[in-house]
Structure 1
Amino acid sequence: MNTPYTPGIAAKRLSGDELHQNFADLHAPLDGHEAAVAADRCYFCHDAPCITACPTDIDIPLFIRQITTGTPEAAAKTIFDMNILGGMCARVCPTEDLCEQACVRELAEGKPVEIGRLQRFATDTVMAKGVMPFVRADATGKKVAVVGAGPAGLSCAHRLAVLGHDVTVYDAMPKAGGLNEYGIAAYKSTDDFAAREVDWLCSIGGIEIKNGMALGGELTIDDLVGCFSAVFLSVGLGGVNALSVDGDDKDGVDDAVSFIRDLRQADDLAALPVGRNVVVIGGGMTAVDAAVQSKLLGAQSVTIAYRRGRDAMGASRYEQDLAASMGVNLLFNAQPVAVHGNGAAAEIELEFTTTEDGKLNGTGETIRLAADQVFRAIGQTLSSDGGLDLEGRKIAVTGAGRTSRSGVWAGGDCASGGDDLTVTAVAEGRDAAMDIHNVLNGGN
C-alpha cells in the first residue's frame, strides 16, 4: 500500500491481544465428533441439488457419507478428484449461495447441512498428514507453461502433472497462490494456509514455480509458445479501476486490493496503519474484506458506499450481514463525487442515486462523510492480454478455455465467462488441463 501516513491514519490502534482475537479463524474447524453429527444430517439425496450447485461438481453426498463411515481420507479424495484446492474453497467459497443454498435441509428447515465445514474437516485431515492422494503418471515428455500461480493456474498445473506432463508455473509475485495468498481476508485463511496448500499441491512432482516473472515483462506469448507444448494463462486482473473524481489523488486514497495484500503479508498487524474514519467504495467481496478488516484493525467508523441497491451488490447477503455484524455501515445508492481535504483526505462527498430501467442516475442530493482513508474497490482490469482476442475487458475463450491462438488456453478471472470465484477458477483450470492433455495426445 503506497498511502503516506496522514494525521488520521495510524498504527497500533489496538493491542496485540485484541488483534489476535479479531483475526482468529472466522469459522473454527469441526472436531471428529462435531463432523460426525453434522454429516448425519445429510439426506444423501438422489440427484442431489448440492452437486449441481457446486462449480467443481464435487459428489457432496458421497464425501459426507464417507465422513459418516469414519473415513475422512476417502472423503478428501472424493473432493480432491474434482477440486484440488478443496481446502481453501472450504474456507472462502460462498457456500451460502451455492451448495448450501441448494441443500434440501435449507429448503425444508432453513438450516442446511454444513457442507463447507465438512469439506474442510476432510481436506484438513489429509493435508495435516502430508499425504498426496494422487500418483503421477509416467512422464509424457511434454512441457506446459502456466502463467499465474493463482487458483486456476495451480489447479491446471496439478492436473497436468498428475497426467505426466512437466509444468513450469510463472508468477509475477514473490509467493505463489494468487488471490488465495494476497487477496483474501486474513480471518478466512489463517496459519499461512495458502502457502502450505501450494507446497502440498506441488508435492505431486513435475511442477516448478518461478516467481517474479510477469506476462508482458520477461515473458511473451511468442516465447512461451516457442518453448512449450501448450500455454495456460491465469494472470488474473492486476489493474485497479480509479474513482475518476476530484481528489482521487489525495493522500489517504488507495486501492483496497493493496490494503488487503499488505495486511495478508504483515508480520505484525499492530504495525499496519489504518484510518480513524474509513470509507470503502464498491460492492463486491474486496470491498467487504477491506471494510471488515479496517474495523478489526481498530478504525472507529467504517462505511461501505455502493452506487446501487443492496440486491445488486456483488458480495453475498451473508457477507453483507457479516460486515454489518462487525460494525460496518452499509450505504446504498450512493456514488462518489469528490474527496475533500487539504492535501490529504478528510471527507468524501457522495451523491445519492436511483436506478430506472437499469440505468443509474444521480439525484443531485449529496452527503459528506468524514474520511481520512478511502479505499477503491470498484473492479480490476487486465494488466496484459498477450495480444489475444478480448471479450469486453477479458481474454475471449471458447470451450475449456481455448483462446484465439492455437496452443494457448486461459482461465480464471482473466478469461471471459465465469463469475470470478475461487471455486470457478479451480474448475476452469482443471477443465483446461484436460483439454490440453487431449490435444497433446492428438485430439481435436
Structure 2
Amino acid sequence: MTRTPDIASSRLSDAELVVNFSDAHPPLTKEQAVVEAERCFFCYDAPCTEACPTGIDIPKFIRAIATGNMKGSARTILESNILGGSCARVCPTEILCEEKCVHNAREEGHPIRIGALQRHATDWQMDHGGQPFTRAPETGRRIAIVGAGPAGLACAHRLAMHGHDVMLIDAHAQPGGLNEYGVAAYKLADDFAQREVDFLMKIGGISFEGNRKLGQDFSLTELRRDYDAVFLSMGLAGVRAMGIEGEALDGVQDAVTFIEALRSRDKKAVPVGRQVVVIGGGNTAVDAAVQARRLGADDVTLVYRRGHEQMSATSSEREWAQTNGVTVRLWSSPSRMVTEDGVLAGVEFSRGKATADGRATYDPKDTFIVPADMVLKAVGQLFVTDPISGESILVENGRIVVDRSYRTTMEGVYAGGDCTVGEDLTVAAVRDGRDAAEAMHLALSTPDQSETSGQ
C-alpha cells in the first residue's frame, strides 16, 4: 500500500465546477407547474398539510397555482414559512408532505411534487412581488437573537412584523446559518441563501451583527440587561469525535468544515483528495461525499456502521449519492486510521451485522481497509454548552430545555431550533422560530406577563 498523499485544489476547470455545482433540480416552468398543480385533489383534510412541520395549507397554495394566482399562492406559503424558498429546496419532502400525498396509494407512488410547486411559487414572489408583508407600528421593544440560521431568521421576521426591533447576532460574517454554510452548494445554487435573507430583511426593523460569539464577545446576562427578551438559536456547532487511532492525522477533517469551505470560498481553492472516505450515514455525509466527487475526487466511499434502514439520510439522498458515483458500504465500523510512513493511507473497518434484537455487532478480527488520502467525518453534531455555562439555563441530554412556549429556565430567554430537542430539520427550525416569536410577542404585549429588561 505504498503511496503518497494526494490532496490538492484546482482538480477541475472553472467550467467543470460551474456545471458540477449548478442547481441540482432545475425549477418547473410555468406550464409544468400548472399541469402538476392540476393533478392535486385539493383534499379537505389534507394529510400533506398535517405532515408539514410549519403547517402550510398545501392544497390552498397549489390550487392558487392552478388558477394562476401566484401572489396568493406565495403568500399562503410564506405566512406559515417565511423561508419557504429554501425549505422547498432542502426539505426532505419525500418523508414529509409528499409521503402523505393520497396519490401514493392511487398512482403507485407518484405524489404531487409539492416541493417543486412550493419553489415555483416562492421564486415568483421573490422575482416579482418583493416582501409581501408589512410591519406593524413600532412597539419600542427590542429583542436579541443569537444565531442567524433558519430558526433565528424566522423568529426575527415574525417579531419585526409585530413591530418589535430585532438584533440578529451570529458568529459568522453573514446571516443564513445552515442554509448559508452547511448545505450542499448545488441545493441552494446561485447564492439563493443570501438572496432569501435579503428578501426576509426587507420587512424592516431587523439589524445584523456578524463575527460575534456568545460567551466570548458578549454574555447572556448582558443581553438580558440590554434587551426586552432573548432568543437562542445557535444550532449545533460541535462535531462528535470517533475516538479512534489516527483521528488527528493530516487529511482527516470533519465534513461540516469541508462543506463550509465549499460554501464560503472559491470552489477551485478547496482541496480534495484523490481517494476520499466519508464516515457517517446522514445528509451531511451524503452532501460531503457528493461534493467531494464533484470537486474532482477519483473515488469516494461513504461508509456507515449499520444498514440502509438506520441511515438518517433519506432514500432519495442515498440514491443521489450513488448516481453521483459514490460507493456506499454498510455494516462497517471504523477501527483506526491506517498510515504509510506516518502519512494517512486508509481507514480500517470492522465488519458488522444485525443481532436478533436489531442492534449491531462487529467482529474486531474481521476487518478490511479502504484506501484514502482524505477522510471526512460526519458522525454527528453536538450543541456546545460553553457559551451559556454559568447562566441559569437548564441543559439536558445535550440540548437546551424549553417549555411549550419555548421559554428556557432563565427569565426572558427563549430558545428553538437544533439547540433544543426536535427533528433537526430546517423546516422544524423555522417553525420553532416563528412560534417562539409569537410567544415572545404575547408576553411582551400582556402587561402582567411582560418580561422587561428593566431599562
Asked if these proteins are the same fold (TM beyond 0.5), I'd say yes
Cα distance between partner residues in 2 of 1:210 and 1:17: 35
The equivalent residue for 1:361 is: 361
What amino acid is the match of 1:440? L
Mapped to 1, the partners of 2:363 and 2:405 lie a distance apart of 44
- Three-state SS of the structure 2 residue aligned to 1:330 is strand
> 1:314 Cα deviation (Å)?
0.8
- Aligned-pair RMSD on alpha carbons? 1.3
TM-score scaled by length of structure 2: 0.94
SS where residue 216 of structure 1 aligns? coil
Scaled by the length of structure 1, the TM-score of the pair is 0.96
Aligned equivalent of 1:182: 181
2:397 to 367, 392, 412: 392
Q: Which amino acid aligns with 1:320?
A: R
Distance in 1, Cα, partners of 2:46 & 2:286:
31
Map of 1:135 onto structure 2: 134
Secondary structure of the 1:118 match is helix
421-430 vs 390-399, which deviates more?
390-399
The corresponding residue for 2:426 is 422
* 1:62-211 map, 5 Å: 62-109=60-107, 110-129=109-128, 131-211=130-210
Q: Does 1:26 align with 2:24?
A: yes
Pair 1:273-2:271 in alignment: yes
Aligned to 1:256: 255
- 1:336-415 equivalence runs, <5 A: 336-341=334-339, 342-356=341-355, 357-364=357-364, 365-384=366-385, 386=388, 387=391, 388-415=393-420
Q: Percent identity?
A: 51
Shift of 1:358: 4.7
In structure 2, what is the equivalent of residue 221 of structure 1?
220
Counterpart CA distance in 1 for 2:269 and 2:238 is: 27
Gaps of 5+ in 1: 1-5
What is the SS of the residue equivalent to 1:251?
coil
Separation in structure 1 between the aligned mates of residue 253 and residue 347 of structure 2, nearest angstrom: 13
Show CA shifts across 1:190-215 (max 9, x none).
11010111111011000001001111
Q: For 1:152 and 1:85, how far apart are their aligned partners in 2?
A: 10
CA displacement at 1:130 relative to structure 2? 5.4
Which residue identity lines up with residue 374 of structure 1 in the other structure? Answer: V
For 1:46 and 1:362, locate their aligned partners in 2 and report how far apart those are by CA, in whole Å. 50
Number of aligned residues: 437
Q: State the distance in 1 between where 2:37 and 2:186 align.
A: 25
Q: Take 2:429 and 2:275, find their aligned partners in 1: how far apart are those partners?
A: 35
Give me the whole-angstrom Cα distance separating, in 2, the residues matched to 1:170 and 1:15: 37
Taking the aligned partners of 2:105 and 2:257, their CA distance within structure 1 comes to 39
Equivalent in the alignment of 2:452: none
Q: Contact 2:12–2:268 (CA<8 Å) still a contact in 1?
A: yes
CA contact (8 A) 2:5 2:344 kept: no
Match of 2:453 in 1: none
Shift of the alpha carbon at 1:230?
A: 0.7
Give, in whole Å, the separation in 1 of the partners of 2:265 and 2:245.
31
1:175 Cα offset (Å): 0.8
Give the alignment partner of residue 298 of structure 1, picking from 296, 301, 318.
Answer: 296
Per the TM alignment, residue 390 of structure 1 is displaced from its structure 2 partner at its CA by: 1.1
Whether 1:438 and 2:442 are equivalent positions in the alignment is yes
Distance 1:257 1:431 in 2: 28
Give structure 2 stretches of 5+ with no counterpart.
Answer: 450-455
C-alpha displacement of 1:226: 1.1
Q: Distance in 2 between matches of 1:274 and 1:423?
A: 31
Contact conserved, 1:143 with 1:228, CA < 8 A, in 2?
yes
Q: 1:330 corresponds to which residue? A: 328
What amino acid is the match of 1:21? V
Residue matched to 1:286: 284
Q: C-alpha offsets along residues 323-367 of structure 1, whole Å, 9 cap, x if unaligned?
A: 011111111111111111133311100111234335433222111
Per the alignment, in what secondary structure is the counterpart of residue 30 of structure 1? Answer: coil
**For the Cα contact (< 8 Å) 1:251–1:343, is it kept in 2?**
no
Q: Report the counterpart of residue 3 of structure 1 in structure 2.
A: none
